[in-house]
């Protein structure tokens, strides 16, 4: 078992992490880690935050130093695409014309930025923010006086807006919905972030339908022209599941996996942003795009390949940094019937707890790490809670927890 040849397709956060967990859990067989980017596995979150603002260098993005791969006996093949999977012959075909055989294949191909299908979207001042190469393209375009239009008011767009403002650029965010973070945050949180971004000088257009992108900006369906030197499209991401679909591996919104990261093929695992994964604590499957989810699944796959039990399911969580605001979200606000506000948004530190039948199912905490940590525990425990005490920020979180 431990001498098996493991091939990891995709050298991103999930792929790099599963290689490390395999060695940590005792896998002694060969590991080949193949990625089409030319950089060793790195963290993407700083690309819209610290790195974009010049507060982190390229080396600090790397998950592990290059020496680690040599010492751990991981054959790292960068700048190499996976072109096809041969499920019968158990091998993958690479873009350099060679093939690599596997006993176990771990798909960790991530997601790709969704493109805007309008005339002009291929112009050279239009881009997305998914990779280090994208961030390299964007960074010099955010200096003082540069005019940036960001299409999409989701997390990546808003983080880029905050970074761009701190670098002195003029920023307009064009959002199709009537509020920011419409698919992923409570309306109160959307309103809080809108107010803060406006105070920082970001301009917003809601209900914005983009008709075309032109040399000097973005044309809306209303005919209005939004002047811009650079257009950043941040309208979500799509799973890189085409290779799996081609060979009949079961997919939904991404490759369908179980809680051990197994696909419908017993020799093939899938992890990270490309998966449609079960969330046992919430009784459903979803595709998540977050580092904690990628790490959890990397552990699941590594443990299963090494013949040990996968770790207990984790509460999904996520973070976002904008200006001096650290947002931390845990759980999923599905089927909730109550929201409890703790703290005052005007103070810049507060938390929103989402409950179903008085049981906390999700927490959105802004500059409130204690509330975030306690919220995660409430979600894991699944017991009902005294909502009056929860809302009373004069009662320390520990005492709220003690009464549940």
Decide whether 112 or 358 has the Cβ nearer to ligand FAD.
112
Contact residues for 337 (Cβ-Cβ < 8 A; gap 6+) = 355, 356, 357
Residue 5 — φ and ψ, nearest 5°?
Answer: -85, 115
- Residue 76-95 contact track with ligand FAD, rule CB under 6 A, x = bound: -----xx-------------
CB of 198 to ligand FAD, least distance (A): 22
Distances (CA, A) of 379 to 77, 148, 368: 41, 40, 17
Among 13, 77, 125, 361, binds ligand FAD (CB under 6 A): 13
Do 209 and 129 form a contact (C-beta atoms < 8 A)?
no
Decide whether 110 or 331 has the Cβ nearer to ligand FAD.
110
Produce one character per residue of 44-75: b if its CB has 16 or more CB atoms within 10 Å, e if not. Answer: bbbbbbbbbbeeeeeeebebbeeebbeeeebe
| DSSP string over 343-402 | EEGGGTEEEEEEEETTEEEEEEEES-HHHHHHHHHHHHH--B--HHHHH-TTS-HHHHHH
Q: Considering only residues 35-54, where is the footprint of ligand FAD by CB under 6 A?
A: 35-37, 44-45, 47-48
Among 6, 7, 11, 90, binds ligand FAD (CB under 6 A): 11
- 139 DSSP 8-state letter: G
Alpha-carbon distance of 308 to 162, in angstroms, equals 44
CB of 30 to ligand FAD, least distance (A): 18
CB of 38 to ligand FAD, least distance (A): 10
Residue 153, interface with ligand FAD (CB under 6 A)? no
Write out the E strands in 6-68. 6-9, 31-34
Q: Considering only residues 223-282, where is the footprint of ligand FAD by CB under 6 A?
A: 240, 272-273
Q: Considering only residues 331-390, where is the footprint of ligand FAD by CB under 6 A?
A: none
| DSSP string over 35-47 | -SSSS-SB-SGGG
Contact residues for 309 (Cβ-Cβ < 8 A; gap 6+) = 303
CB of 48 to ligand FAD, least distance (A): 4
Q: Which residue is nearest to ligand FAD (CB)?
A: 12
CB of 350 to ligand FAD, least distance (A): 20
- The closest alpha carbon to 92, from 176, 8, 178, 183, belongs to 8
Residue 99, interface with ligand FAD (CB under 6 A)? no
Residue 129, interface with ligand FAD (CB under 6 A)? yes
Number of Cβ atoms within 10 Å of the Cβ of 147: 17
- C-alpha distance across the termini of the chain, in Å: 45
Q: Considering only residues 280-319, where is the footprint of ligand FAD by CB under 6 A?
A: 289-292, 294, 318-319
Q: Could you tell me the two tokens for 241?
A: 């599941």
Q: Could you tell me the two tokens for 319?
A: 């973070």
Residue 162, interface with ligand FAD (CB under 6 A)? no
Decide whether 83 or 103 has the Cβ nearer to ligand FAD.
83
CB of 318 to ligand FAD, least distance (A): 5
Q: Considering only residues 168-207, where is the footprint of ligand FAD by CB under 6 A?
A: none
The region of 104-112, 161-169, 170-178, 377-385 touching ligand FAD under the rule CB under 6 A is 104-112
The region of 8-16, 175-183, 364-372, 388-396 touching ligand FAD under the rule CB under 6 A is 8-16
Q: Which residue has the tokens 């009464």?
A: 403
Among 190, 285, 320, 349, binds ligand FAD (CB under 6 A): 320
Which residues in this chain contact ligand FAD in the complex, by CB under 6 A?
A: 10-15, 34-37, 44-45, 47-48, 81-82, 108-110, 129-130, 156, 240, 272-273, 289-292, 294, 318-320
């Amino acid at each position: 078992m431990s001498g098996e040849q493991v091939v990891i397709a995709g050298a991103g956060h999930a792929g790099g992490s599963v290689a490390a967990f395999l060695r940590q859990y005792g896998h002694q067989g060969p590991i080949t880690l193949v990625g089409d980017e030319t950089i060793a596995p790195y963290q993407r979150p700083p690309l819209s935050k610290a790195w974009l603002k010049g507060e982190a260098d390229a080396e600090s993005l790397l998950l592990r130093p290059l020496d680690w791969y040599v010492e751990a006996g991981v054959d790292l093949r960068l700048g190499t695409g996976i072109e096809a999977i041969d499920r019968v012959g158990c091998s993958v075909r690479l873009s350099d014309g060679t093939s690599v055989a596997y006993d176990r294949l771990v798909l960790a191909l991530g997601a790709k930025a969704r493109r805007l299908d309008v005339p002009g979207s291929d112009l050279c001042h239009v881009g997305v923010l998914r990779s280090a190469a994208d961030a390299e393209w964007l960074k010099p375009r955010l200096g003082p006086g540069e005019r940036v239009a960001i299409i999409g008011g989701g997390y990546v767009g808003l983080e880029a807006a905050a970074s761009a403002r701190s670098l002195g650029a003029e920023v307009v965010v064009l959002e199709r919905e009537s509020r920011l973070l419409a698919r992923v945050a409570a309306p109160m949180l959307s309103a809080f972030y809108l107010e803060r971004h406006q105070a920082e000088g970001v301009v917003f257009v809601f209900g914005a339908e983009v008709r075309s992108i032109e040399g000097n900006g973005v044309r809306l369906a209303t005919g209005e022209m939004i002047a811009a030197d650079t257009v950043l499209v941040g309208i979500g991401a799509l799973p890189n599941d085409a290779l799996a679909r081609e060979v009949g591996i079961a997919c939904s919104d991404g490759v369908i996996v179980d809680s051990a990261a197994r696909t419908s093929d017993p020799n093939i695992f899938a992890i990270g942003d490309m998966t449609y994964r079960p969330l046992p604590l919430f009784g459903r499957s979803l595709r998540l795009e977050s580092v904690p989810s990628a790490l959890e699944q990397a552990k699941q796959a590594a443990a299963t390949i090494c013949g040990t039990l996968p770790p207990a399911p984790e509460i999904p969580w996520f973070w976002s940094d904008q200006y001096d605001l650290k947002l931390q979200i845990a759980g999923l606000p599905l089927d909730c019937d109550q929201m409890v506000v703790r703290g005052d948004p005007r103070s810049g530190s507060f938390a929103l707890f989402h409950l179903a039948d008085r049981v906390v199912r999700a927490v959105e905490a802004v500059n409130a790490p204690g509330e975030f940590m306690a919220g995660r525990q409430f979600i894991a425990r699944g017991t009902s809670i005294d909502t009056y005490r929860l809302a009373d920020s004069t009662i320390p979180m520990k005492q709220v927890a003690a009464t549940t």
